[in-house]
């Protein structure tokens, strides 16, 4: 083993944004292939969702060719450099069976829970990311991390039940503090001494769990479920603290980012893009430092409230009020936001691809499920909501394809994603969206 430094010099980035650096894994920690840790375990598999609101322009987004080597239409330009690591899924349908199509809501709920909603903005069943986190997220400090680029913590589509919507972190500084702040344990620190105060905090939480039996004795079923959710959250923190009492496994790509400025966050498109840049870097490093395996990022909310400075209308309003330009064939102002969303998505992929891990990149060891809430926002169409799966998922996905769903239920995608991530499930969704048929084209 050569005695080289584990850290390269940090490269600063413009504007005080967080710094990322990929540090090559020391060969001595790898087996011969360089694809696994010396312990024999594969590189940890990560999962995330990346959401943008108000869809796209079908004629300019959906590739014309199917299969490998698909073409790149105008709105997909930003993913061109990575298309061999991205699956594009079009033509899958959210089937509501007579239930209302709640604008910017029903499609998203169908995508993430496989169910047709009865009320707008009501996620009754657990979302895909929660199911995946239950399977792979229990061994890290955070079961999952939720962030939004819009400044509003309510913009989150990660939820265990109607009563338990995981709030999004609205500020990159807040995310930084939460992950890399005083409680961060460097996985590569030479010495490790468990903090006695962590033990004490854990004992406090253990004592709280004792209250459960007393409390649930005389309450109805709905309240019992709520209390159980609370106690689950207590246990989650208890486990998180417990992990902090153990020496963390080495994370060779891990480097603590520069603390971001407390810049104002909000729905002005420039702010959202800047916030996204920081969030992408912080999340990538949080994954590389094994602080979590699962994340959820909201670039814009489902009825996108993003707006341009000095303009009186939001993206969402533009999708409805702007005329389709006869010559161009699309709504120029509204489409600007689609383009910005896709540019941000491209930047996200680039950011995780830039982190070297093992013989590849962080992107090779993860699956990112990117999607919107609608296909064409002007008509609230939920037939063909755009979806992309980015990453090689440790070799568990056949990537670089365009798959057309031919009107099949969109829950097939959710089922497929869960299976790729190792969730034991053979059937998912409800009613006409119940399916046992994953998207075989992408399964290995």
Partner 1 sequence: MRGLPIKAGIVLTLALGLSGCGPSEPKSAGGPPQIRRLTESQYRHAIADIFGGDIKVAGRFEPDIRADGLLAVGSGKVTVTPSGFEQYDAIAQGIALQAVDEKHRDALPCRPASPKAPDDACATQFLRESGRLLFRRPLTEQELREQVEVAHAATATLGDFYGGLSYGLAGFLAAPEFLFRVEAAEPDPQHPGLLRLDRYAKASRLSFLLWDTAPDAELLDAADRGDLDTRDGLKREVDRMIASPRLEAGTRAFFADMLGFVAFDQLAKDAVIYPKFSLKVTNDAREQTLRTIVDHLLARKGDYRDLFTTRKTFLTRNLGLVYRVPVETRNGWEAHEFPAGDPHAGLLTEIGFLALHAHPGRSSATLRGKAIRELLLCQKVPMPPANVNFSIVQDTNNPKFRTARDRLTAHRTEPTCAGCHKIMDPIGLGLENFDGAGQYRPDENGAAIDASGTLDGMNFADAASLGKALHDDPATTSCLVNDAYRYASGREIASGEQDWMGYLQQRFAADGYRFPDLLRAIATSDTFYRISPTVREAAR
Ranges within 77-116 binding partner 1 (CB under 8 A): 100-103, 106
**Shortest CB 307 distance to partner 1, Å:** 6
| Rounded (5°) CA angle 350-356-362 | 60
Stretch that binds partner 1, among 220-228, 278-286, 345-353, 427-435 (CB under 8 A): 220-228
For CA atoms 345, 350, 351, 352, give the dihedral sign.
positive
User: Do residues 141 and 291 touch, judged by C-beta distance below 8 A?
Assistant: yes
User: Do residues 133 and 144 touch, judged by C-beta distance below 8 A?
Assistant: yes
Give the residues across from 388 on adjacent strands: 88, 370
Stretch that binds partner 1, among 28-36, 79-87, 165-173, 243-251 (CB under 8 A): 165-173
Nearest in space to 342 (alpha carbons), one of 72, 86, 77, 53: 77
Among 12, 16, 34, 167, binds partner 1 (CB under 8 A): 167
**Shortest CB 266 distance to partner 1, Å:** 6
Q: CB nearer to partner 1: give 79 or 283.
A: 283
**Shortest CB 388 distance to partner 1, Å:** 24
**Shortest CB 56 distance to partner 1, Å:** 18
User: Cα–Cα distance between 49 and 128 in angstroms, integer?
Assistant: 9
Among 66, 199, 354, 430, binds partner 1 (CB under 8 A): 199
The reply on whether position 315 binds partner 1 by CB under 8 A is no
Give the residues across from 314 on adjacent strands: 307
User: Do residues 92 and 106 touch, judged by C-beta distance below 8 A?
Assistant: no
User: Do residues 283 and 145 touch, judged by C-beta distance below 8 A?
Assistant: yes
Among 1, 14, 207, 444, binds partner 1 (CB under 8 A): 207
C-alpha distance across the termini of the chain, in Å: 36
DSSP label at residue 259: P
Q: CB nearer to partner 1: give 83 or 141.
A: 141
Among 77, 134, 186, 229, binds partner 1 (CB under 8 A): 229
**Shortest CB 6 distance to partner 1, Å:** 30
**Shortest CB 385 distance to partner 1, Å:** 13
Give the residues across from 46 on adjacent strands: 366
**Shortest CB 174 distance to partner 1, Å:** 7
DSSP label at residue 365: G
Nearest in space to 133 (alpha carbons), one of 230, 218, 48: 48
Stretch that binds partner 1, among 69-77, 226-234, 364-372, 408-416 (CB under 8 A): 226-234
* Interaction pattern, residues 5-44, with partner 1; x per rule: CB under 8 A: ----------------------------------------
Here the tokens at position 376 are: 């064409």
Q: Which residue has the tokens 């500020």?
A: 171
Q: CB nearer to partner 1: give 219 or 440.
A: 219
Q: CB nearer to partner 1: give 55 or 63.
A: 55
Residue 47, SS3 per DSSP: strand
User: Cα–Cα distance between 347 and 278 in angstroms, integer?
Assistant: 11
| Rounded (5°) CA angle 51-344-67 | 75
Stretch that binds partner 1, among 62-70, 151-159, 272-280, 385-393 (CB under 8 A): 151-159
User: Cα–Cα distance between 282 and 295 in angstroms, integer?
Assistant: 11
Residues in 390-419 at the binding interface with partner 1, rule: CB under 8 A? none
* Interaction pattern, residues 267-306, with partner 1; x per rule: CB under 8 A: xx--------------------------------------
User: Do residues 382 and 106 touch, judged by C-beta distance below 8 A?
Assistant: yes
User: Cα–Cα distance between 64 and 70 in angstroms, integer?
Assistant: 7
Q: CB nearer to partner 1: give 241 or 389.
A: 241
* Interaction pattern, residues 322-341, with partner 1; x per rule: CB under 8 A: xxx-----------------
Q: CB nearer to partner 1: give 57 or 166.
A: 166
Q: CB nearer to partner 1: give 43 or 282.
A: 282
Among 12, 67, 120, 242, binds partner 1 (CB under 8 A): 120
Residues in 52-81 at the binding interface with partner 1, rule: CB under 8 A? none
Pairing of strands 145-148, 294-298: parallel
């Amino acid at each position: 083993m050569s005695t080289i430094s584990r850290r390269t010099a940090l490269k600063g980035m413009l504007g005080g944004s967080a710094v990322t650096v990929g540090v090559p894994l020391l060969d001595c920690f790898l087996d011969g292939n360089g694809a696994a840790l010396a312990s024999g375990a594969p590189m940890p598999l990560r999962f995330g969702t990346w959401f943008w609101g108000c869809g796209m322009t079908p004629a300019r987004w959906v590739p014309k060719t199917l299969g490998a080597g698909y073409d790149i239409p105008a709105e997909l330009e930003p993913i061109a450099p990575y298309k061999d690591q991205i699956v594009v899924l079009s033509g899958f349908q959210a089937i509501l069976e007579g239930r209302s199509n709640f604008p910017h809501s029903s499609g998203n709920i169908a995508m993430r829970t496989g169910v047709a909603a009865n009320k707008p903005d009501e996620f009754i069943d657990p979302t895909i990311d929660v199911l995946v986190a239950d399977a792979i997220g229990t061994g890290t400090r955070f079961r999952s991390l939720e962030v939004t680029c819009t400044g509003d913590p309510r913009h989150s589509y990660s939820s265990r039940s109607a009563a338990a919507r995981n709030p999004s972190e609205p500020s990159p500084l807040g995310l930084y503090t939460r992950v890399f702040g005083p409680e961060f344990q460097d996985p590569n620190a030479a010495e490790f001494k468990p903090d006695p105060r962590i033990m004490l905090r854990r004992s406090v939480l253990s004592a709280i769990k004792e209250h459960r039996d007393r409390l649930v004795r005389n309450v109805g079923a709905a309240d019992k479920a709520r209390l159980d959710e609370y106690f689950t959250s207590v246990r989650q923190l208890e486990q998180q603290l417990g992990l902090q009492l153990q020496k963390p496994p080495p994370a060779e790509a891990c480097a603590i980012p520069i603390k971001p400025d407390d810049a104002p966050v909000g729905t002005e498109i420039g702010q959202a893009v800047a916030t996204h840049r920081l969030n992408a870097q912080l999340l990538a490093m949080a994954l590389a430092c094994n602080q979590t395996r699962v994340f959820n990022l909201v670039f814009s909310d489902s009825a996108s409230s993003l707006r341009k400075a000095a303009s009186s209308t939001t993206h969402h309003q533009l999708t409805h009020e702007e005329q389709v330009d006869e010559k161009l064939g699309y709504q120029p102002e509204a489409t600007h936001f689609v383009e910005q969303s896709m540019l941000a998505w491209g930047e996200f992929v680039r950011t995780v691809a830039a982190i070297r891990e093992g013989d590849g990149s962080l992107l090779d060891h993860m699956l990112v499920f990117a999607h919107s809430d609608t296909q064409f926002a002007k008509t609230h169409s939920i037939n063909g909501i755009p979806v992309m799966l980015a990453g090689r998922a440790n070799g568990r996905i056949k990537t670089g394809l365009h798959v057309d769903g031919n009107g099949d239920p969109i829950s097939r995608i959710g089922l497929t994603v869960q299976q790729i991530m190792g969730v034991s499930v053979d059937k998912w969704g409800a009613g006409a969206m119940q399916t046992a048929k994953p998207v075989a084209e992408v399964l290995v």
